[in-house]
Amino acid sequence: MKLKSNQPLNKDKIFNDLKTLANKSYSPYSHFKVSCILYLKNGQEIHGVNVENAAYSPSICAERVALPQLFINDYTKDDVELFALYTDALEFGSPCGVCRQVMMELLNPNQKVWIYSQKGYQDEFEVQDFLPYAFSKNDLKK
């Protein structure tokens, strides 16, 4: 959790912030750094990086490090202005399948997502673009 910033969202500044944050990635096995920042409407930021493990399967993606912190800090999905994701991919890196499911659960379907790669800003999406026909609480109705 980072303190309030009063600056408007700027694609280049976000790229720099994501790259700086990606240096905190703990990825000694894949050497593939991922970082993400949830920019909140009140100016606060929530950060995540991927954190790997020698046993491999306990490794966790940057998205799933960041998203639960929303609720731990008493925010909801409606408090999020932007979800920005950086991966070490050359051209374009997108969220893994598990993270897509978690994004659908913990963010609004029309939440704006900016994707960054080594080459900088790539494109804007909505969370629901990443997971059509998502399994959701509606599917639990019997």
Q: Which is nearer to ligand THU, 34 or 80 (CB)?
A: 34
Q: Is 38 in the site for ligand THU (CB under 6 A)?
A: no
Torsion angles phi and psi, residue 96, rounded to 5: -70, 170
Instruction: Using DSSP bridges, classify how beta strands 34-40 and 80-87 pair: parallel, antiparallel or unpaired.
Output: antiparallel
Q: Is 53 in the site for ligand THU (CB under 6 A)?
A: no
Region of 14-22, 26-34, 105-113, 115-123 interacting with ligand THU (CB under 6 A): 26-34
Q: Is 125 in the site for ligand THU (CB under 6 A)?
A: no
Q: Is 50 in the site for ligand THU (CB under 6 A)?
A: yes
Distance, CA of 97 to CA of 65 (rounded, Å): 15
Q: Is the distance from CB of 51 to CB of 59 less than 8 angstroms?
A: yes
Active site residues: 63
Q: Which is nearer to ligand THU, 5 or 92 (CB)?
A: 92
Residue of 37, 45, 46, 95 that binds ligand THU (CB under 6 A)? 95
Distance, CA of 20 to CA of 60 (rounded, Å): 19
Q: Which is nearer to ligand THU, 75 or 130 (CB)?
A: 130
Beta bridge partners, 15, equal none
DSSP 8-state class, residue 45 = E
Extract the tokens encoding 72. 């731990």
Whole-number minimum distance, CB 77 to ligand THU, in Å? 19
Q: Is 96 in the site for ligand THU (CB under 6 A)?
A: yes
